[in-house]
Amino acid sequence: MRKYVFSVCILLAVAASASAVVEAPNGPAKYVFFMIGDGMASVQIHAAEAYLASVGANDIDDGGLNKSTDLAMNSELGYVGLQKTWAWNQLITDSAAAGTALACGHKSYAGAISVDPEDPNLAYKTLAELAKEQGKKVGILSSVSLDHATPAVFYAHEVSRNNYGNIGFQGATNGTVDFFGGGTFKDSKWADPSSMWPTFEANGYTIVHDLTDLQNLPVGTKCVAASSVTQDSQAMHYEIDRINSGANGEWSLAEVTEEAIRILDNEKGFFMMVEGGKIDWTCHANDALTSIYDTIAFDDACRVVIEFAKAHPGECLIVVTADHETGGLTQGWAGTKYDSAYQNLTTQTMSFQAFGRWLSDYQSNPYSFYNIVKIVLSYLEPDADLTRVINLIDDLDMQNKIEETFGVVYNDLSALQQAQLEEAYDRQMTGEKIRGSEEDYLIYGDYNPLAIACTHIINARAGLGWTSYSHTAVPVPVMANDPSFSGYYDNTDVAKKIAAAMGGSLN
């Protein structure tokens, strides 16, 4: 099934690569598309490309395996730059400081939502606000919650990214945004949760929660397309889960993008920011295949935008970039040396997040193998310390789930990997930090130990490595259909270049 999905993607990519790249804007851009893959550096993109080539080996002419198949964001835009992501107060940025730089052209502190670092009461003008001044409409789309840092920096000004209620309230009331779409808002964070949708409605927004309703909205509708079947933290599902589990028919980022374009289109044009927000979240958890799926989902949204631009030659600016890299992903791992085998990743069927949900259910289920054995043992030996008397080698239910989820077969693992998985099982079930806090964090971060142990095993098998559960300072690429974006520059320059291409300026 997954194979089929990607074969289609590859054929599209091959077909698309034959056509010319998107024409540069021939004056101030009428339509501006700012596509931000959160946490998506060159390595995330190229891992997806190499994966597509690996799984599509039978579908493309040159054998494909272990080569790479360009994503649309790379093959269709013509110009490349590299941007440095450092924040005002630290080399490794967060999405708020990076977003402020990308939206306003100013460095600020980690956590800042488009405010000055030394005077947080001073709001920076954003590209979306510039678009509004020019009479354009504005669309803000994200696969995570619409009050998360990256979307927020375009329409709100707050001292902290964590002030979700204030951010959402600004979005509902300040008139900057005409179309919100993707995930939804953190209603639980509003001072009065019951008033969230009424507040939007009072400000002229129509609220829709499924694709058909969205597709039926007339052109020009001011709206919030908010998923009602979110997976975690008011975000859309990870793409791997959306595809494999159905996710109750949740829309794709590309589908929302397509509708946003249709609804926003008008004679003065629009500014649209589309964020692939869950690339970052899965890279925090070092889950490579989930990151690859979300990168491809984001590229599918780019493809929608590119098709629109091809139909409107000379009128569109498209800029695809990231706010920072996440996870310290690299396309090489010590144990596999010069070998790569991304096709081995296909044995994974759900995200670390979905597996974590299953783990939570299993651990709290009184009838799970683990809990039954524990109860029996506690009757048999009431005084014994039952910590670590049950091993993964005995828990066939867990072994089966791990095989089903990751394709990791306990008995086929090396002695070292078996030991790592046993230790993760102990750590997962007992909560005990067996190697102490410092080493425990290095091995598992703050994630489910069994999820991390399994993704690390299959990533290693593919030949992929990670160095962190946080962001990194690796420069990130900028792909654009405008030659002014070639070069090496700061993230603040991206905003300035976009403003210039719009024929305007920031403050």
Positions that interact with a second copy (CB under 8 A): 42-43, 45-46, 49-50, 66-68, 70, 74-75, 78-82, 84, 86, 89-92, 94, 110, 325, 328-335, 337-340, 342, 414-416, 435-436, 438-439, 441-442, 445, 463, 465-475, 477, 479, 483, 486-488
| Residue closer to a second copy (CB basis): 277 or 477 | 477
Contact 10, 69 (CB under 8 A): yes
**Beta strand residue intervals within 231-355, DSSP E:** 270-276, 316-321, 325-326
For the CB of residue 394, give the shortest distance to a second copy in the complex, in Å. 24
For the CB of residue 142, give the shortest distance to a second copy in the complex, in Å. 22
What is the rounded (10 degree) CA torsion for 257, 260, 266, 268?
A: -60
Tokens of 349: 């069927």
For the CB of residue 72, give the shortest distance to a second copy in the complex, in Å. 11
Residues facing residue 23 across a β-bridge: none
How many angstroms separate the CA atoms of 239 and 276, rounded?
10
**Secondary structure string (H, E, C) spanning 10-58:** HHHHHHHHHCCCCCCCCCCCCEEEEEEECECCHHHHHHHHHHHHHHCCC
**10 Å Cβ neighbour count for 246?**
11
For the CB of residue 322, give the shortest distance to a second copy in the complex, in Å. 13
For the CB of residue 310, give the shortest distance to a second copy in the complex, in Å. 18
For the CB of residue 443, give the shortest distance to a second copy in the complex, in Å. 9
Length of the chain in residues, anyone? 507
| Residue closer to a second copy (CB basis): 205 or 333 | 333
| Residue closer to a second copy (CB basis): 70 or 187 | 70
Q: Which of 321, 256, 305 is nearest to 39 (CA)?
A: 321
CA distances in angstroms from 306 to 45, 282, 319, listed in the order given: 17, 26, 11
| Residue closer to a second copy (CB basis): 249 or 483 | 483
| Residue closer to a second copy (CB basis): 84 or 262 | 84
| Residue closer to a second copy (CB basis): 17 or 221 | 17
Secondary structure element (H or E) that encloses residue 490, with its range: strand 487-490
DSSP three-state, residue 183: coil
How many angstroms separate the CA atoms of 304 and 299, rounded?
9
Contact 320, 73 (CB under 8 A): yes
Residue in this structure with the two tokens 């790569």, named with its chain if needed: 340
| Residue closer to a second copy (CB basis): 386 or 473 | 473
For the CB of residue 65, give the shortest distance to a second copy in the complex, in Å. 9
| Residue closer to a second copy (CB basis): 6 or 270 | 6
Compute the radius of gyration of the chain from its Cα atoms: 23
| Residue closer to a second copy (CB basis): 314 or 335 | 335
At how many degrees (to 10) do helices 369-380 and 352-364 cross?
A: 30
For the CB of residue 474, give the shortest distance to a second copy in the complex, in Å. 5
- In 265-287, which residue ranges form alpha helices assigned H by DSSP? 278-284
For the CB of residue 353, give the shortest distance to a second copy in the complex, in Å. 19
